[in-house]
Amino acid sequence: MTVNVEQNRLEENVTVAASHGTLRRSMLRAAVGGASALGALGVLGSGTATAASPLHTPPSPASSPPTRPVRTPRAALQALLDGNRRWRTSTQRHPNEDPAARRRAIAGQAPFAVVLGCIDSRVPPEHVFDQGLGDLLTPRSAGQVLDESVIGSVEYGVVALRIPLVVVLGHQSCGAVKSAIEIEQTGEQLPGSIQYIAERIWPAIDQTQQGDARLNATTDANALMIRDQLAALPTLATRIAAGQLSVVSARYELTDQSVRLLP
């Protein structure tokens, strides 16, 4: 897929309606209650490191913390698409891996995108988008399934770190989606909490196709469903309405390493 096609998709995805469904949850309510709560959240992940391991002496911190390279949803999405182009053409820049970037990271973080991805070891977001230390906030769960901790992690990035873009990244040959389809057909019970993952994916299962076509359609539908669930959260919906945030879904292809935006 060419960059021009993705740029056209960007126009369609830069604002996501926040009127699709609701998700019962209670985490981070205090984050929108006032400046003091927001300040408390900031301490969790954006403050300066103050403790050193007794086994290692860290380098001296840089004079200033890192700054966000892009500030708008549109620019953030374009930066990811540009990075994926470099990844799939083997022209990566491997940004923010040098000693200076590591020193800046001691003073704080300023990621420009949240990428909610699957746990699949073949789809590491920093590689797929050719980004470096401090560029992305990357919560991950099997099949991108939402629970309270995943939701809270996304909300933290948006509320406390003021990240302007959330990407729900599904991928080709997703094992979580495949398992969900199989046990929905057979009625088998998966062990432990793996069953929970499958049941969260069930509403997205395509009932009109079979085989690989069904797997592909369900993978896309699952990413779109999760996008809509996130966009409906009050903490995100208010920022979407104000033009401060975009929530989009995308799919990574293992065969050609490309990322395409979903409608």
Two structure tokens written together for 140 = 């991950």
118 is in an annotated binding site: yes
Q: What angle do CA 207, 209, 214 make, to 5 degrees?
A: 90
**Looking at the predicted structure, is the pLDDT value of residue 119 above 50?**
yes
Query: What is the mean predicted confidence (pLDDT) over 112-139?
Result: 98
The answer to whether 174 is annotated as binding is yes
Q: Give dist(CA 26, CA 46) in Å, integer.
A: 23
**pLDDT classification of 156: cutoffs 50, 70, 90:** very high
| The CATH number, out of the four listed (3.40.50.150, 2.30.40.10, 3.40.1050.10, 3.40.640.10), of the domain defined by the range 3-17+66-172+231-261 | 3.40.1050.10
pLDDT band at 155 (very low <50, low <70, confident <90, very high): very high
For residue 80, the tally of other CB atoms under 10 A from its CB is 28
What value does the mean pLDDT take over residues 137-162? 99
User: Comparing 115 with 18, which gets the higher pLDDT?
Assistant: 115
Residue 20: pLDDT over 50: no
User: Given a cut of 60, is residue 134 above it in pLDDT?
Assistant: yes
Judge whether residue 5 has pLDDT over 70. no
pLDDT per position as a tens digit, 23-81: 444 444 443 344 445 555 655 555 555 554 444 545 555 558 788 888 899 999 999 99
pLDDT of residue 44: 59
Task: Give Cβ neighbours of residue 236 (< 8 Å, ≥ 6 apart).
Answer: 18, 154, 155, 158, 166, 230, 245, 247
pLDDT tens sequence across 179-221: 999 999 999 999 999 999 999 999 999 999 999 999 999 999 9
120 in a known ligand binding site: yes
Cα angle 247, 253, 257 (rounded to 5 degrees) comes to: 100
pLDDT at site 97: 92
What is the pLDDT averaged over residues 120-125? 98
Q: What is the predicted pLDDT for the residue at 140?
A: 99
**For a pLDDT cut of 90, what percent of the chain falls above it?**
73
> Could you tell me which residue, 153 or 49, shows the higher pLDDT?
153
Give 13 or 185, the one with higher predicted confidence.
185
For the cut 70, the answer to whether the pLDDT of residue 110 exceeds it is yes
Q: Which residue has the higher pLDDT, 120 or 29?
A: 120
Secondary structure string (H, E, C) spanning the chain:
CCHHHHHHHHHHHCCCCCCCCCCCCCCCHHHHCCHHHHHHHHHHHCCCCCCCCCCCCCCCCCCCCCCCCCCCHHHHHHHHHHHHHHHHCCCCCCCCCCHHHHHHHHHCCCCCEEEEECCCCCCCHHHHCCCCCCCEECCECHHHCCCHHHHHHHHHHHHCCCCCEEEEEEECCCHHHHHHHHHHHHCCCCCCCHHHHHHHHHHHCCCCCCHHHHHHHHHHHHHHHHHHHHHCCHHHHHHHHCCCCEEEEEEECCCCCCEEECC
The residue ranges of every structural domain in the chain are: 3-17+66-172+231-261
